[in-house]
Amino acid sequence: MDGAALNIEMPTALHSSTRNEFWRARPTLVTGASGFLGGWLVRQLLELDADVICLVRDAVPQSDLMRSGLHQRVKIVRGDLCDGALLERVLGEHEIVTVMHLAAQAIVGVANRNPLSTFETNIRGTWQLLEACRRAPTIKQIVVASSDKAYGAHDTLPYSESAALQGRHPYDVSKSCADLIAQSYAATYGLPVAITRCGNLFGGGDLNWSRLIPGTIRAVVENREPLIRSDGLFVRDYFYVEDAALAYVLLAEQLAARDDLRGQAFNFSLGQPMTVTQVVEAILKITNSDLQPRVLGEASNEIREQYLGADLARRELNWQPQFGFDDGLNRTVEWYRNFLQN
C-alpha cells in the first residue's frame, strides 16, 4: 500500500478551522519529548499553535527536539517522571489542560538486562503522573502511550482491543501494567484518559541503531552488511511515526468531545504485517543496494508473530493512516541519508 496513492484528507475530530482554535495556546504537557515519537508529536502540536511544555529527564543533544531547534519554541522542565511532587508542580504552575504521556524505557533488550529501571519508569512513572493529574483541576484530556507489546502473545491475529493484556517478558509486562493502570484511573476516578497501542514505529529521528529500520539504513549508507538479530521470520506491524503523532492529536480531540472514550484503548497500525526479512529487502530495494544481510539468529524473549487490527479506530475515531509503508519508508531513508551524510 503506497501512501501516495491513498489521497485522503487529514484525519480530524474537528474541522480544520476549529482544530486550530482547539489547540491554539492550549497548555499541553508532553512527557518523553526528547524521544523518537516525542519529537514528531511536539512538532505537530507546535504547528497547531499549542503551548507545549516538555518534561525531559536527560539532555539528549542528538534528539530531534534539540537538533531541530524545537526546544527553543517550547517550555522545558527538567526532572524525573517518578517525582510526584514535581509533576504536581508542573501541572499546577503551567495550568496544563492536555497531557500526552509518551515517556518510557522503550528498548526490549534494555528491559531484559535491567528490568527494575524499566518497571520504575514505565509503571511507577505512569501512576505517579495519573495521580498528579487526578489532583489537578485543569486537566481535561490525557493520552497514554501503551504498545502492541502490552498484549503479550496470542494465537488469534491480528490483535483486537478486546484481547487480554498478558505480557510475560519485562518490557511487555511494563506496558501491560501501565495500560491497566490508565484504565483503572478512568474507571475508578473518571479521569479523562484514553490509550494508544501502536505497531512498531519507524521514521526519521530514531537514533537507536539497534532497531531494525534505522540500523539497516545506517549500514547501507555506510556500505556495511545489514545485521538481522533474529532469524528474519519474526512478523510485526510497521507504523510510520508521523501517522502516530497525528493519531495522538486526533485521540485528544475526540476525548475532549466524547466522555464515552474515557478508559478506551485504540490500536493504530497499517494492518500490513511484514517479516523482518521483508523489511530489510524493502530498504535494500529503495536504496538500490546489492548488500546482503547477515542473519544472526540471536533474538530471545520476543514474540514471534504480533500485529494489530485498527478497525475500532477507523470506525469510532474516523481515523485513517496518511502514509503507506512504502511512502513512509522512502521519507525515512531520505531523512537518514541527510542525517548521516551531514
Q: How far apart are CA 46 and CA 199, in angstroms?
A: 25
Is 171 among the catalytic positions? yes
Where exactly are the structural domains of the chain? 12-203+241-271+306-321
CA angle 28, 116, 126 (to 5 degrees): 25
Q: Which CATH architecture has domain 12-203+241-271+306-321?
A: 3-Layer(aba) Sandwich (3.40)
Alpha-carbon dihedral angle through residues 32, 35, 38, 39, given to the nearest 10 degrees: 140
Cell of 331: 521519507
Write down the pTM of the prediction.
Answer: 0.92
pLDDT tens across the length of the chain (342 residues): 333 333 333 444 466 667 889 999 999 999 999 999 999 999 999 999 999 999 999 888 888 899 899 999 999 999 999 999 999 999 999 999 999 999 999 888 899 999 999 999 999 999 999 999 999 999 999 999 999 999 999 999 999 999 999 999 999 999 999 999 999 999 999 999 999 999 999 999 999 998 999 999 999 999 999 999 899 999 999 999 999 999 999 999 999 999 999 999 999 999 999 999 999 999 999 999 999 999 998 877 778 899 999 999 999 999 999 999 999 999 999 999 999 987
Query: Annotated catalytic residue: which of 171, 185, 238, 240?
Result: 171
Q: What residue type is 244 in one-letter code?
A: A
CA 209, CA 217: separation in Å to the nearest integer?
9
